[in-house]
Structure 1
Amino acid sequence: MADRVLVTGGTGKTGRLVADGLVWRGIDARSATRRPFSADQVRFDWADDTTHDAALDGVSSVYLVAPTDRIDHLAAMRPFLERAVARVPGRLVLLSASSLDRNGPMMGEVHGWLDAHTSRWTVLRPSWFMQNLTTQHLPSILEDGCIYSATADGRVPFIDAADIAAVAVAALCDLVPPSGDHVLTGPEAMSYDEVASAITEVIGRPVRHCRLTTRELAARYTAFGLPEDYATTLALMDETIATGAEDRTTGEVERMTGRPATTLASFLTGQRAVLGSAGF
């Protein structure tokens, strides 16, 4: 059982939920952030190894969320990972993605490194977050009535970040077997056309799926300020969805938490005020 867990990405989509879930179980959760502002947070920067040792003091397990501003994740994370493997007696739980295999790009490299250097690892590979609809897609939903993607008719088993966090807490508390990866999905795979229709039904205002080519989507991301290599990588992920790579569901959320995964319909209903905030 974990006594103190370091939660990297502690203020992010899953990190803050993981911290809350650990506290609810009576476990000391230390949230790592570049700008701590409370006693339960610690200064941490992947790029500043002078912050690493202090963040690991007294820690028995770690939740690992890769930096989001680059794609060479192993290069960025390795100095900290080496310290964590040497100092942390418990589980290292990595948030990866369903599209990233072990030894593949981005978090896939980190997955492979953990497998080669410790037996105390668990890798969570969720599909695309439902929360993307209320964050990165929200401006275009509100302003254009549109979800832009290069996924064509590809289907995605969208998953609630709260379900990912619940699985992470179970892993950090040693309630699931170590040294394995788990593909996490919602209960149904849906195309973006179907997602747009579902949003339309919830908010009573037309939303459609606006289809882009992979190149057009990469250019859109670059226009928003993302580095070109990162923008291209993200756009290519949409291209793999178009080929059917994400059209699957698993029962891992229920198996590992004891409760069913959240449906997209339920999530959208709970987010009606956000998605309809353009005056509807």
Structure 2
Amino acid sequence: MQNILILGGTGKTGRRVAQRLEADGRPVRTACRTSGSTPFDLADPATWAPALDGVTAAYLVEPSLGAGGDRMPRFVAEAVAAGVRRLVLLSAGGVGEAGDDHPLKAAEDAVRASGADWTILRPDWFSQNFSEGPWLPSILAGTLSLPAGAGATPFIDAGDIAAVAVAALTEDRHRGRTYQLTGPRAIGFGEAVDLIGRATGRPVRYVGIAPETHLERQVAAGVPPAVARLLTGVFTAIRDGSAPEPADGVERALGRPARPFEDYVSETAASGVWN
């Protein structure tokens, strides 16, 4: 049986991947800096070998887009040299069309050229950003401000991403495939927060702001300028109607449709995280 390493094992997708694998009785090693079963820091190569010892498959996550493009390729090379034979990379939507300077481009290239079996996942914006990520404080405060205008994007449930990752880690039929992962329909931020407001019984509104304002706020909050520009550009692409169309990656990988955003909202509201 495979010994599976999960980078970012306590993150949005990594935690869910580990839970699903453990429920199936598979040996799992969760690796991250502050918790998990194995101390690991992608910025510290001294932590790589202990994490890779005895591992045959790995779920790869780059936790910091501002960290530079060479450390994931170096980790991939070390992983394959250590005996890892299957790699599943969490990339991002739009990387295929992005220039070579995109921080995940080199990671994708390294996985494809590794000599191991590989699968690449390119998800759209996570639905869970509203409940576990950067937008939660704004949702709790009642106003979400972003430079996405009236544009819409097909939010993807992190549970669907995890389900595809588990399939790719444990089944041969996903070898050499790149999956575009989206929800079943595009949703504007105004509609998204309205659904959350109705489910929680309190007002939540969305306010479109200028890209320059968003960029300034991100940099002031400590986001590296290059990353802040990249993320602001993604929002403005949504505003301008260039967000990805809904894709069938979840259905191709799992044989079922992607989870609707409305189901995510209902379940999350019931959990009380937005109270």
User: Do Structure 1 and Structure 2 share a fold, with TM-score over 0.5?
Assistant: yes
1:267 aligns with 2:272: no
Matches within 5 A, 1:65-214: 65-68=61-64, 70-72=66-68, 74-101=69-96, 103=100, 105-134=102-131, 135-143=133-141, 145-214=142-211
Normalised TM-score (structure 2): 0.92
Secondary structure class of the residue paired with 1:6: strand
> Which of 49, 70, 80 lines up with 1:53 in the alignment?
49
Q: Distance in 2 between matches of 1:104 and 1:229?
A: 11
Offset, 1:165:
0.3
Secondary structure class of the residue paired with 1:93: strand
For residues 124-176 of structure 1, the C-alpha deviation after alignment (integer angstroms, 9 at most, x for no partner) is: 00110001011311211222x22211111221110111110000000000253
Report the AA paired with residue 163 of structure 2: A
**Taking structure 1 as reference, are residues 18 and 161 closer, same or farther at Cα in structure 2, changes over 3 Å only?**
same
For residues 40-67 of structure 1, the C-alpha deviation after alignment (integer angstroms, 9 at most, x for no partner) is: x111111111111111111010100002
Task: Report if the CA contact (8 A) 1:119-1:179 is conserved.
Answer: no
Q: Distance in 1 between matches of 2:143 and 2:239?
A: 18
Offset, 1:89:
4.1
Equivalent residue number for residue 15 of structure 1: 14
Consecutive unaligned residues in structure 1, runs of 5 or more: none
Normalised TM-score (structure 1): 0.90
Equivalent residue number for residue 23 of structure 2: 24
Task: Report if the CA contact (8 A) 1:203-1:275 is conserved.
Answer: no
Report the AA paired with residue 24 of structure 1: A
1:42 aligns with 2:41: no
Task: Report if the CA contact (8 A) 2:139-2:274 is conserved.
Answer: no
Q: Distance in 2 between matches of 1:71 and 1:204?
A: 41
**Taking structure 1 as reference, are residues 109 and 90 closer, same or farther at Cα in structure 2, changes over 3 Å only?**
same
Offset, 1:262:
1.4
Which stretch has the larger CA shift, 207-216 or 249-258?
249-258
Offset, 1:177:
2.4
Q: Distance in 1 between matches of 2:3 and 2:73?
A: 22
1:217 aligns with 2:214: yes
**Taking structure 1 as reference, are residues 177 and 193 closer, same or farther at Cα in structure 2, changes over 3 Å only?**
same
Offset, 1:30:
0.3
**Taking structure 1 as reference, are residues 190 and 45 closer, same or farther at Cα in structure 2, changes over 3 Å only?**
same
Report the AA paired with residue 43 of structure 2: A
For residues 50-102 of structure 1, the C-alpha deviation after alignment (integer angstroms, 9 at most, x for no partner) is: 11111111101010000226252x32223211101222342110001112227
For residues 212-237 of structure 1, the C-alpha deviation after alignment (integer angstroms, 9 at most, x for no partner) is: 12111111212222122222221111
C-alpha RMSD of matched pairs (Å): 1.9
Q: Distance in 2 between matches of 1:24 and 1:205?
A: 36
Secondary structure class of the residue paired with 1:219: helix
Percentage of pairs with the same residue: 37
Secondary structure class of the residue paired with 1:255: helix
Offset, 1:275:
5.5
**Taking structure 1 as reference, are residues 86 and 35 closer, same or farther at Cα in structure 2, changes over 3 Å only?**
same
Report the AA paired with residue 29 of structure 2: R
**Taking structure 1 as reference, are residues 24 and 275 closer, same or farther at Cα in structure 2, changes over 3 Å only?**
closer
Offset, 1:247:
4.0
